[in-house]
């Protein structure tokens, strides 16, 4: 799958998400046994199972549509993971 999709989504959204949303995101990226499933759900190639069809999945689906036509050819730098919260 597009490994940058979740990385770019995380960089843009994690800082603004509630603790409950962060928990749902963590579950989404860690529980499915196949990363391709997340990609297919996000791009609406396959229906999202009810257990993962949350507000966070809706945010990821919207992000995957890339309405602003941003260039997303590489994974983002991960330094944001090590920055103190703002």
Alpha-carbon span 39 to 46, nearest angstrom: 9
**Is the model's pTM score more than 0.75?**
no
HSE-CB for 60 with a 13 A CA cutoff: 29
Residue 4: phi and psi, rounded to 5, are: -80, -20
The residue among 78, 70, 6 whose CA lies nearest residue 37 is 6
CA dihedral 26, 17, 79, 31 (to 10 degrees): 10
Q: Where are the domains of the chain?
A: 4-73
Residue 80 has what pLDDT? Answer: 55
Q: Split the chain (86 residues) into runs of 10 and give each run's mean pLDDT.
A: 77 95 94 89 95 96 78 53 61
């Amino acid at each position: 799958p597009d490994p940058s999709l979740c990385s770019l989504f995380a960089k843009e959204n994690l800082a603004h998400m509630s603790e409950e949303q962060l928990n749902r995101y963590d579950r989404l990226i860690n529980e499915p046994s196949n990363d391709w499933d997340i990609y297919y759900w996000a791009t609406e190639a396959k229906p999202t199972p009810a257990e993962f069809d949350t507000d966070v999945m809706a945010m990821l689906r919207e992000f995957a549509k890339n309405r602003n036509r941003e260039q997303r050819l590489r994974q983002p730098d991960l330094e944001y993971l090590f920055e103190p919260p703002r």
